[in-house]
Structure 1
């Protein structure tokens, strides 16, 4: 198998068929395109998500908090509690561990999140640290948004720009080469896109207005995110290439290394399925809070229609088999 997420067909065959005992209180469980689990506690819902940080070495604590918080927020829930497993290579020292936990602490505190448990060990066979996080949040039952709730005709909205996480990681790993090619200011801007990765504010604003589904497009970029959202709801989609927001830094870096920005890890962007009557209100509310938001297309009833509309008309948008970032890492 290729690096990155295991393909959906293998998940369906091997993973989703082995989920232990059933529980009626599980409102949303494991499935294609599902960011988190939702478990009923009376009039409140506990939302839980877990993700490892494997493709980054710098800022690993930052990513662990925000990537997991993003998934919880896509359910309309506010992130509250965090658990983490820190796996260190045998070459690590106390300074390595101190740097990771300091980042975890500072970024959890910035979101009002408590770190309530976890595990830390030195693991043979690793060549860099790996941090696995589990974020828990809560939301009122009536305010819950589900990953699989998109409906035919819903307007697709994306916040900020695609490829933000991938651009920031590449800018750090290839700093010397990028500075020689584009200059220091450009490279600093590209690396600074890490500061746009949280979508907690984006998601909570949209959920308050009323949306049908939200999704955080991570590995495989917006292309994979669209497929995951469509898979979860059993729908298709039509998106317009000229509406998809891409920053200059992302475009230039992708051209330099021959990468597809649509398939580059895109934490920081939020995909939203909004009822047509609410779409303009959602966009306006986000823009008022300084969050760039763009309508890029819509969901359609036929699950076989998954197209990108460009200069040559409609073309099928394939689901990426691996994230573009892995070509450089």
Structure 2
């Protein structure tokens, strides 16, 4: 477990002594990444105290598991990793720590997997406030507890001032996919229905406003939330879901373009059916942005057979994370690889893949 400096956990003499390091410093220094006592105190006080569990407490350089604990949930492993560099670290509706937990959980969930374990690696800038780091770690602990997932291994690095912006986090996740669940973008077929679980663009708009670059007074909050329970609810009524993906960077438009290319089908959307808050529309109109490309951190795109659409929609609406779910389009055979939008004005336009980056550092 790389949170353990000096590899002391490999020495049985050290394992007999409880770790009680206490961090006295108010800001991160290069010494906190040196592998010595300062680093041990940082890890003990900030990370071990928040993330402690039976696997993490072994303090090895890796987490080890009994394979039987996996096979009871399914017959395939799902493994994912993501890095989080959001600016600002704290924003309406969430923070970088919560985002790191929920984002990786959601990447596992859209495969149909039950999320089980996470790793956590942090890169800290020299001079970062210890209180800021403590807030982030506490937020991660609370998010992990809410979702029932365990953080079981990790790593800490400190770099010179200016080499990173305050704090970057990488999390990797492991989950188990139940037997007979085979969710893939390659499964999509003409006649399928496309469902979204709620309003688009709230996260991207909340981040933009939190940066203070616009003199706007709104109550837009990030939609940052875990989706694994919602996915389980969907699979309980429709194990044969064709495709699922969370619409993060690049938004709904990018996900649907990826779907269309993967299965060589067309997709037609109905603009009137796509839920977007008026405040988000206003932000987009001021800045010339398109809400279809804005980032989300709690939005799930589901593709199911048309015959199953109403059943899945009803199940989604019964869950708090899907209460605003709606059918927004359908899969068509032609033109292949293209996403079309029937606009509110009665015209039709192509919704292409995002070119460039509307908002950098949003997750």
TM-score scaled by structure 1?
A: 0.78
SS in 1 for 2:186: coil
Q: Deviations over 1:198-242 (max 9, x none)?
A: 322322222222211101111111111111222333322111111
Q: Is the 8 A contact 1:164 1:269 kept in 2?
A: no
Aligned to 1:65: 101
In our comparison, the structure showing a higher alpha carbon Rg is 2
Tell me, yes or no, if structure 1 residue 75 matches structure 2 residue 108.
no
Q: Is the 8 A contact 2:86 2:362 kept in 1?
A: no
Question: Structure 1 residue 165: deviation in Å?
Answer: 1.5
* Change in 2 beyond 3 A, CA 1:106/1:318: same
Find 1:319's aligned residue among 353, 356, 362: 353
Tell me, yes or no, if structure 1 residue 95 matches structure 2 residue 123.
no
SS in 1 for 2:187: coil
Find 2:339's aligned residue among 299, 306, 326: 306
Q: Report how many aligned residue pairs link the two structures.
A: 280
Tell me, yes or no, if structure 1 residue 171 matches structure 2 residue 171.
no
Tell me, yes or no, if structure 1 residue 197 matches structure 2 residue 225.
yes
Aligned to 2:85: 54
Matches for 1:204-215 after TM superposition, within 5 Å: 204-210=232-238, 211-215=241-245
Find 1:286's aligned residue among 316, 337, 348: 316
Distance 1:140 1:167 in 2: 36
Aligned to 1:28: none
TM-score scaled by structure 2?
A: 0.71
Q: Deviations over 1:170-223 (max 9, x none)?
A: 2322387222xxxxxxx2x313x44x5332232222222221110111111111
Find 1:241's aligned residue among 271, 290, 305: 271
Distance 2:136 2:361 in 1: 26
Question: Structure 1 residue 118: deviation in Å?
Answer: 1.3
* Change in 2 beyond 3 A, CA 1:201/1:147: farther
SS in 2 for 1:177: coil
Question: Structure 1 residue 246: deviation in Å?
Answer: 0.5
Structure 1 vs Structure 2 CA RMSD? 2.3
Find 1:139's aligned residue among 177, 182, 191: 177
Aligned to 1:151: 189
